[in-house]
Amino acid sequence: MAYNVVTVFGGAGFLGRSIVNTLARQGALVRVACRRPDEALRCKPMGDVGQVAPVAANIRDDASVAAAVDGADAVINLVGILYESGRQSFDAVHREGAGRIAQAAASAGVTQFVHVSAIGADPEAASHYARSKGEGEAAVKAAFDNAVILRPSILFGPDDDFFNRFAALARISPVLPLIGGGHTRFQPAFVCDVAEAAVAALTNSDTVGQTYELGGPQIYSFRQLLEVLLTVIDRKRLLVPVPFWAAMVKAFFLELSPAPLLTRDQLRQLRRDNVVTEGVAGFVDLGIAPTAPEVILPTYLSRFRRGGGARKAVAAETTSMVQMR
């Protein structure tokens, strides 16, 4: 193991918890850096007593970031937002925050740095989210030139935002929206695979300074993802195409909410495919065989079936008993 103490910024989040768990299993001392350390308390049982420690850190504050990386061998930055709220802007979090963490890590003598960005990160992108992600990568490289950049596609796994949200909607609505006709392509990545990739980036010397795009084994259109979802939860719903202009109008009003379900900037992102760029290094180059959604989705979406999947289980058991007779 090339590291002993690892600071994980955003370690209390969806991907962060998987990374903390993976690091703890490998024996690392893990600092879970986040604005509210109480949110990281659920990470403490992932390691032995004292192995996983929540620490307070605000990526907009130089002093708290410096304290979080002091004495660390490696730093992983996962901090990101899907929409802007108050001082939590894309620029403040994705660009300035990422650069501040990388600069603090370099000043503290940290030897390894992994920055998790996103597929589609581009300083010239139409979407402010994707543009800030691209600028954040540049800021990290400027401060820590040996940093490893990971760009995952949309993530799936327990507590994910995409499949859980649409499964919940399918439980109460007879229709599901196909934004832009459902043609946008995605390459979903299993959260545990991405966690393994982040840790592999710390242990494999060949990854230094490299960029990896992390997508699953198969590409799906938005329509196909919803069809897979409906098959898993055993529900039939009408898939209705919604043109981008109509979705833009709805998003305008949804943005009035403190936590909008959809924003106009997210719709700009949906105009571009979210798949791995041909020729760019990925999971295979890190020695990881990516997992397909069909393998994992049934393990955590069964609660969205009628009866929570219990009826199907009872029916299968009854059929088995009849066949045995």
User: 192-251, pLDDT tens digit by residue?
Assistant: 999 999 999 998 889 999 999 999 999 999 999 999 999 999 999 999 999 999 999 999
Which pLDDT value is given to residue 1? Answer: 55
Which pLDDT value is given to residue 317? Answer: 40
Which pLDDT value is given to residue 307? Answer: 81
Which pLDDT value is given to residue 310? Answer: 54
Average of per-residue pLDDT across 25-40: 94
Which residues lie below 8 Å from residue 309, measured CB to CB, with a gap of 6+?
234, 302, 303
Which pLDDT value is given to residue 321? Answer: 30
The string of pLDDT tens digits covering residues 143-157 is: 999 999 999 999 999
With a cut of 80, say whether residue 313 has pLDDT above it.
Answer: no
User: Tokens 């209705």 sit at which residue?
Assistant: 240
Tell me what percent of the chain is helix, strand and coil, each rounded to the nearest 5: 50, 15, 35
At residue 18, the 3 state secondary structure works out as helix
Which pLDDT value is given to residue 148? Answer: 98
Q: What are the domain boundaries of the chain?
A: 5-155+187-215+274-288
Nearest 5°: phi and psi at 23?
-65, -45
Mean per-residue pLDDT over the chain, rounded? 92
Which pLDDT value is given to residue 315? Answer: 39
- CA pair distance 212, 133, nearest whole angstrom: 14
Instruction: Return the CATH fold of 5-155+187-215+274-288.
Output: Rossmann fold (3.40.50)
Please tell me which residue, 216 or 320, carries the higher pLDDT value. Answer: 216
Which pLDDT value is given to residue 294? Answer: 97
Which pLDDT value is given to residue 309? Answer: 64
Average of per-residue pLDDT across 25-36: 95
Task: Tell me how crowded residue 246 is: count the other CB atoms within 10 A of its CB.
Answer: 13
8 Å CB contact between 148 and 114: yes
Which residues lie below 8 Å from residue 217, measured CB to CB, with a gap of 6+?
289, 290, 291, 292
Which residues lie below 8 Å from residue 19, measured CB to CB, with a gap of 6+?
8, 11, 76, 78, 195, 198, 199
Average of per-residue pLDDT across 77-94: 94
With a cut of 50, say whether residue 316 has pLDDT above it.
Answer: no
Nearest 5°: phi and psi at 259?
-130, 80
Which pLDDT value is given to residue 306? Answer: 87
Q: What is the DSSP string of 121-158?
A: --TT-SSHHHHHHHHHHHHHHHH-TT-EEEEE-SEEST
Which pLDDT value is given to residue 184? Answer: 97
The string of pLDDT tens digits covering residues 276-288 is: 999 999 999 999 9
